[in-house]
Amino acid sequence: MRVALFVTCLADAMFPQVGRATVELLERLGHEVVFPEAQTCCGQMHINTGYQREAVRLVEHQVDTFAGFDAIVAPSGSCVGSVRHQHAAIARRAGRVALSHRAEELGERTYELSEFLVDVLGVTDVGARYPHRVTYHPTCHSLRMLRVADRPLRLLRAVRGIDLVELPEAEQCCGFGGTFALKNAGTSAAMLSDKLRNVLSTGADVVSAGDSSCLMHMGGGLSRLAVDTRPVHLAEILAST
């Protein structure tokens, strides 16, 4: 299968190892992975902060950039959620009917990593080995917008050597929420405190998730606590051998 890597802004700018791990994993499973260099921000930040008219050009660019691939895969439930659930609506509101149809079609071929592995490839054992104690945080967009349910956990349970421990109150938001963490810093910090209390109660070496944004938020909190628990993206665990 010819797969396009939709790397996302955050992975491209701050967490390139997540993009590399995604490519390594998909290539190990026998697929051709292409990185369309013209890709930019998908527009989620603009849409969520009220700049919807400005986002139309980004929606059009996303559609043009990722045309012609069998599937588009991103290590981010948040960005995939925007492509699948926001782009067509943004185009329709701008009176761009043809673009809205193209955006809908692209959304149907755009997948978060775990749902692509489980639902499209039919794989849960990707041949990974990761001998660490790990707890998993289901990010809000992957859980509530994409409804990936237990797909990441099914993948993690098949990893050799892993000690996977349940996260108490796992479905509780970590408090990031993009610009929410800036505009509502006090509330965000309180939510983060609750999340980290639950993470540390597991005794895990690693807290994993499918979104670098949430891991960045939790990682900042963990670093300030000076503890050994570290954030690691799901793709990095699944790419480990």
Residue 115 in contact with residue 151, Cβ under 8 Å? yes
* 112-129 residue pLDDT tens: 999 999 999 999 999 999
* 27-57 residue pLDDT tens: 999 999 999 999 999 999 899 888 989 999 9
One digit per residue, the tens of pLDDT, for the chain of length 241 reads 899 999 999 999 999 999 999 999 999 999 999 999 999 999 998 998 889 899 999 999 999 999 999 999 999 999 999 999 999 999 999 999 999 999 999 999 999 999 999 999 999 999 999 999 999 999 999 999 999 999 999 999 999 999 999 999 999 999 998 888 888 999 999 999 999 999 999 999 999 999 999 999 999 999 999 999 999 999 999 999 9
The pLDDT value recorded for residue 178 is: 83
Ordered DSSP codes for the chain? -EEEE---HHHHHT-HHHHHHHHHHHHHTT-EEE--TT----SHHHHHTT-HHHHHHHHHHHHHHTTT-SEEEES-HHHHHHHHHTHHHHHHHTT-HHHHHHHHHHHHTEEEHHHIIIIIS--S----B--SEEEE---HIIIIIS--TTHHHHHHHTSBT-EEEPPTTTTS--S-TTTHHHHTHHHHHHHHHHHHHHHHHTT-SEEEES-HHHHHHHHHHHHHHT-S-EEEEHHHHHH--
Handedness of CA 210, 213, 214, 215 (dihedral sign): positive
The pLDDT value recorded for residue 105 is: 97
Residues 5, 17: Cα–Cα separation, whole Å: 13
The pLDDT value recorded for residue 48 is: 87
SS (H, E, C) 128-161: CECCCEEEECCCHHHHHHCCCCCHHHHHHHCCEC
The pLDDT value recorded for residue 210 is: 96
pTM: 0.94
The pLDDT value recorded for residue 180 is: 86
The pLDDT value recorded for residue 49 is: 86
The pLDDT value recorded for residue 111 is: 98
